[in-house]
Amino acid sequence: MGQSKKLRMQLDPLDRKLLMLLGGNARRTNQSLSDELGIAPSTCLSRMKTLKEAGIIDRFTIDVEPDALGFPLQALISVRLQPGARHLMAKVGEELRHAPEILQFFVLGGAEDFLVHIAAKDTEHIRRFVLDWLSANPAVAGTQTSLVFEHARVGPAV
Amino acid sequence: MGQSKKLRMQLDPLDRKLLMLLGGNARRTNQSLSDELGIAPSTCLSRMKTLKEAGIIDRFTIDVEPDALGFPLQALISVRLQPGARHLMAKVGEELRHAPEILQFFVLGGAEDFLVHIAAKDTEHIRRFVLDWLSANPAVAGTQTSLVFEHARVGPAV
DNA sequence: GTTGAAACAAAACATAA
DNA sequence: TTATGTTTTGTTTCAAC
């Protein structure tokens, strides 16, 4: 699909500032962006297109408050697989990432194999998630759950 | 500042679909959104505004590929504070979250106090980050670093 | 809560400089 | 990269439903 060229283009300060501005408000008009950058709208548009096509901008999206959606709790769950089940990593990962509670999914090197970030209605919901998706899987050796008290996504480090 | 009303408004299927569409492309025109939703552009606009004002849409933003920015490595670092330093959590957190490498920042309950997600140029960069921002801080009792092999941010579960 | 119409603003594209 | 012109498309408001 029309993913990207995966070019490792190099960014000048203008590109970086553009990324910063879009990170702050991805719906700003091209004109307002070009004004702030001090460049012509056509230039700004072409920069934006290039960043998108190069895959540097992965997508224009929104940050949603999970608790406003009825999921006031968040948890991080680290998952260790059975030593003999490492070859199932891809499979377990695929299953997991389709759980509706999942916000993020990390595949790790180190003591843990996965880390999943979930949003949930309540603690019972978390417990059920761990049981249904993790503990029930014979490839899973163990899990550790931590409640998230605060979470900040920091803008693109540009 | 003009944050939000933090109303716990309740969402109907239209709101949910709108969130989904915006999650997929936050720069879609209001018109194209309203077409897909089967409502008038003015209605769509007012829904979007309401979602923004209620804080359900936290912001319109972009996902940036960190490795396209020259940070091909990612790591998760969990941080434990000294037992007597828990009252410094807010302070340590404030310092940390301004480090340019930081992508995300979690405050946790459980064995660990923080988890930070960083992007870095190379392993030496990670090492220096841990030394400069964490180990050097007397409030920090210990850290544990894991490399991130894969990371997926899953769209808002709506 | 939803709408269409109207007035306005911006996007898209080409082209030339 | 920019400036400019043209055409098309989108935004926003608001009175009315």
CATH of the domain at B124: 3.30.70.920
Residue nearest to nucleotide D11 (CA to C1'): B30
B157 inside domain:
no
- Per-residue model confidence (pLDDT) at position A6: 53
Neighbours of B87 (CB within 10 A): 9
Q: Is the Cβ pair A157, B63 closer than 8 Å? A: no
CA dist B158 and B23 (Å) reads: 10
Q: Is pLDDT at A66 greater than 60 in this prediction?
A: yes
Instruction: Give me the phi and psi of A156, to 5 degrees please.
Output: -50, 125
B126 inside domain:
yes
Give which of A3, A7, A12, A61 to mutate to test B binding, by max B Cβ within 10 Å: A61
Residues β-bridged to residue B146: B76
Pair B141, B70 in one domain: yes
Tokens of B97: 């979250």
Mean pLDDT of A21-45: 94
Tokens of B63: 């996902």
In single-letter form, the type of residue at position B143 comes to T
Its pTM stands at: 0.89
Pair A80, A139 in one domain: yes
Pair B48, B70 in one domain: no
- Per-residue model confidence (pLDDT) at position B6: 57
Number of domain units in chain A: 2
By the 8 A CB rule, do A54 and A7 touch?
Answer: yes
- Per-residue model confidence (pLDDT) at position A4: 40
Pair B43, B92 in one domain: no
- Per-residue model confidence (pLDDT) at position B94: 87
Mean pLDDT of A17-43: 94
- Per-residue model confidence (pLDDT) at position A95: 86
Residues 6 or more apart whose CB falls under 8 angstroms from that of B48 comprise: B18, B22, B30, B33, B57
CA dist B29 and B23 (Å) reads: 13
- B42 class by beta-carbon count within 10 Å (0-12 exposed, 13-18 middle, 19+ buried): exposed
Q: In which domain, by residue range, is A94 found?
A: 66-148
Q: pLDDT by residue (tens digit) across A93-150? A: 888 878 889 999 999 999 999 999 999 999 999 999 999 999 999 999 999 999 999 9
Question: Quick check: B25 CB within 7 A of strand C?
Answer: no
A157 inside domain:
no
Question: Quick check: A144 CB within 7 A of strand C?
Answer: no
Pair B118, B44 in one domain: no
CB-hemisphere CA count at 13 Å for B78? Answer: 19
CB-hemisphere CA count at 13 Å for A82? Answer: 12
Tokens of B110: 């459980």
Residue A46, domain CATH: 1.10.10.10
Pair B78, B132 in one domain: yes
- Per-residue model confidence (pLDDT) at position A158: 56
Which pLDDT band holds residue A156 (cuts at 50, 70, 90)? low
Pair B78, B108 in one domain: yes
Round and report the angstrom distance from CA (A84) to C1' (D11): 58
Which residues in chain B land under pLDDT 50?
A: 1-4
Residue nearest to nucleotide C14 (CA to C1'): A42
According to DSSP, the β-strands at A140-153 and B57-64 are: unpaired
CA dist B154 and A7 (Å) reads: 24
Question: Quick check: B47 CB within 7 A of strand C?
Answer: yes
Question: Quick check: A29 CB within 7 A of strand C?
Answer: yes
CA dist B133 and B64 (Å) reads: 24
- Per-residue model confidence (pLDDT) at position A97: 79
Q: How far is A73 from chain B (nearest CA, A)?
A: 12
Helix or strand run (H / E) with residue B106: strand B102-109
Better-predicted residue by pLDDT, A68 or B48 = B48
